[in-house]
Structures are given as C-alpha cells and as structure tokens.
Amino acid sequence: MTRRWLAFALLAFAACKKPAAPPPSATLTFVKEKTELRSLAPGDQIPVETVSGYDPYYKKVKRFRAVSLKKVLELGFAGEGPLEGKEFIFRASDGYAVYVRGALAVEDGGYIALQDLDVAGWEPIGPQQANPAPFYVFWSKPEQVDLESHPRPWQLVKIEMLRFEAAYPFTKPGDLPATDPAMVGYGLFRDRCFKCHAINREGGRVGPDLNVPKNVLEYRPEEQVRAYIKNPLDFRYSAMPAHPDFTDKDLDGLIAYFRAMKEHKHDAKE
C-alpha cells in the first residue's frame, strides 16, 4: 500500500512539474481608412529581440522582449507601398490616441515591447501606474528619449493608416492659408495634443474635449489657458505633461486655433 501511494505521489509531482501551455498571443489590429485589414500576433511572425535603453517613463534603463516596429508595420500594412510618407494613429485600449508620421514610425530604434524582462509580468507605468500590456512602444536609442518627439503609447491595441484631415475633418478650422496662426495651432494640436484631447469629439479621450459643448476659451481666460499648457502643475496635480518647449509663437497658434474652432462646433450627439 505504501509503495502504491509513493508511486502515485511521484506521478502527481511529475505532472505538476510539466510546463504550463503558453497563453495565446495577443493580437494587434491594423486598419486603413476605417477598413480593418488584419489582426496579427507580432511575436509569432516577427523575430523577437532583447532590447534595452533608458526609458523616460520609468526613469531608468529597461529591458524588453520586443519586435521591430518597422517590421510590424510592414507586415500589418503589407501591399500598401512605402510607409515613410504615410500617416498613422496608434490607439491604446484606455482611449489614448497618438498621431505618428510614417517617417518616424519606421525609424531605426523603434520597437513594440511584448514582455518586460526586469520583472514578472509588467512593471506599472506612468502617473496612473497602468499595466502596459499587451503592447508598449519602446525606443532604444539615446536620441529617442524625448516623449514629445518619440511617443511611447502603452496598452496598444490598434494601428490605423489614414490621412488625418480626412479621418478627423471636424478638427480643422476651415479653409485657411497654411501660414494662418490658427492653422499653425492646428498642426500643433494634431502633433502634440490630439493624443489626449478631442476637438468636436474627434481625438483622444484621456483629457477633456476642448471645443464641445463649450470651447475651452469660453470658460477659461486666454492667459490662463496659455499658462496651463506651459505647466499644468502650476494649477493642479494632473497627468497632463508640461510643455516647456512651446514658444510664445506656438502658444499664440494654439490660442488662435481654439478661438477659430469656436465658430466650427460639431457635436456627434446633434
């Protein structure tokens, strides 16, 4: 009886030691002009590398298992021609949406991180201490640590190829010359603000819409808006980053853009 019990115990122990089946790979969805092209598990189809570099969110060197962002885009948008001149929106599951020019998206040093190699699971990231899974955009080169020039969206679930003006027509302040201050501000909003804020319900969902139901200049004085953009922490604790690099001309452009958009309201509820 003892031997039979021992044999059973050894068999049970051996069964427990078998490695668990790996979880199914997360997928990333690729969309062109609102038409879904495909969903892929990048780690299953692109060589996985170990990459490291200083991460400005973590404020230290991080190591990840990752795949080349350029190769991911080439696979996801196969047959769509050269990517350098395209425009993309990287969308996260939390509502964050960042506009990325094609030339930046295919830059050497860009990766999509699949696994954090420094901790079990993922080390929480950002002011909200979020879980970056399933995918985190990581830049490995020292010259790529600026979060404004090289955004690092986490919880990435979708990449869209589009023309910004066609996809988000209600963010544009009418047909104005490219040199008009409102158009300068429009470019800044697209490149720097769209990732968190919407205009006329088109854009990111992390921060408030800046035009409907009320334009930001309808409830905040212009000088206060300028100062808040420059350094939000002078007013309140929030996740909005400071913009110390914005010049007075940049802020003039943004204020001109907000002012112009008061005359171009569009609410999807209407």
Q: So where are the chain's domains?
A: 28-163, 168-261
pLDDT surpassing 60 at residue 149? yes
Give the residue among 258, 34, 21 at the shortest CA–CA distance from 168: 34
pLDDT score for 134: 96
Q: What pLDDT, on a 0 to 100 scale, did the predictor assign at position 166?
A: 84
Reported as half-sphere exposure (CB side, CA atoms, 13 A), residue 160 has a value of: 16
* Contact residues for 74 (Cβ-Cβ < 8 A; gap 6+): 83
Q: Is the pLDDT of residue 8 over 80?
A: no
The predicted-structure confidence for 23-33, as pLDDT tens digits, reads as follows: 446 999 999 98
Nearest CA to 74 among 109, 36, 117, 45?
45
| pLDDT for 4 | 42
State the pLDDT at residue 81.
92
pTM here is: 0.74
CATH code matching the domain that covers 28-163, chosen among 3.40.50.620, 3.90.420.10, 3.40.50.2020, 3.40.47.10? 3.90.420.10
Residue-level pLDDT at 269: 64
CA 149 to chain centre: 12
Residue whose structure tokens are 């060197």 = 61
pLDDT band at 212 (very low <50, low <70, confident <90, very high): very high
Calculate Rg over the CA atoms of the chain: 23
Q: Name, in order, each residue with C-beta under 8 angstroms of 171's C-beta and a sequence gap of 6 or more.
A: 186, 189, 190, 194, 199, 200, 202, 203
- Residue whose pair of structure tokens reads 């490695």 in the numeric block: 19
pLDDT, one tens digit per residue, over 29-74 is 999 988 999 999 999 999 999 999 999 999 999 999 999 999 999 9
Closest by CA position to 126, among listed 182, 53, 198, 206: 206
Q: For domain 168-261, give the CATH number.
A: 2.60.40.420
Q: What is the pLDDT of residue 10?
A: 38
Q: Return d(Cα 260, Cα 172) in angstroms, integer.
A: 9
* 156-161 and 28-32 strand pairing: parallel
The length of the chain in residues reads: 270
User: Would you place residue 101 in the very low, low, confident or very high pLDDT band (cuts 50, 70, 90)?
Assistant: very high
